[in-house]
Amino acid sequence: MSIVDQGYAVEKFMDSQGNSAFVVPCPGGVVGAADLSEPSFVARLSVSSAQLLALKTTPLQMTFVAPTLVPPADVANTNWIIVPETISLHYTYGAAAYTINAGTLRLSYGPATNALYLCADQSALLTNVTNQVIPSIAVTLPGTLTEATGLAQNIYLVNTGTANFTLGGGSLVATLVYSIVTM
């Protein structure tokens, strides 16, 4: 039974390039969440081979938190932060494995230029010649997140390496469970 069958609203968001992500509220929060009093959400991003090949030049927005979605909804609230709880990746092998070219595969607060990565490099996943799943990737941050760099920042799937990936034909589904905490 899907979460839709259980009566939970699924929202589909699209960024300016037409990439889509799905956000689903999690009933009752997630065990191990940073603060179980905050509701949890699931963002699921399906990434095609063409999008993976262009990830260095075109990062993909994974969460779509707008200031008016964070209470109080009647004002543009920028005093919120996304608290990641769980990251998972599901790679479906295509015609060829990817050549990494010193590229990386990470989730990041805001654009890749912020250098606020949520996990270690996962690009080795793209070199497999079989379908692969990483069910639970450790959430890590490079030190303390400052208000200037962490507040009101959505999460992106990024390639922070020196070049785009090449040759690959597989696809990827990235899943992020997170809470939104207001300051």
Domain extents for the chain? 11-182
Q: How far apart are CA 3 and CA 48, in angstroms?
A: 24
Confidence of residue 2 (pLDDT cuts 50, 70, 90): very low
What is the structure's pLDDT at 71?
A: 60
Q: What predicted TM-score, i.e. pTM, was given to this entire model?
A: 0.78
CA dihedral 161, 164, 165, 170 (to 10 degrees): 120
- The pLDDT tens digits for 37-87 are 567 899 999 999 999 999 999 999 999 877 666 665 555 677 888 889 999
Edge-to-edge strands, sheet with 106-109: 60-61, 155-158, 106-109
- What is the tens place of the pLDDT at every residue in 98-123? 999 999 999 998 876 667 889 999 99
- Whether the bond between 67 and the residue before it is cis, its omega within 30 degrees of 0, is no
CA dist 25 and 178 (Å) reads 10
Average pLDDT over residues 84-99: 96
In the beta sheet, which residues pair with residue 90? 133, 173
From residue 163, alpha-carbon distances to 14, 56, 104 in Å are 25, 6, 9
- Residue 31 — very low, low, confident or very high, per pLDDT cuts 50/70/90? very low
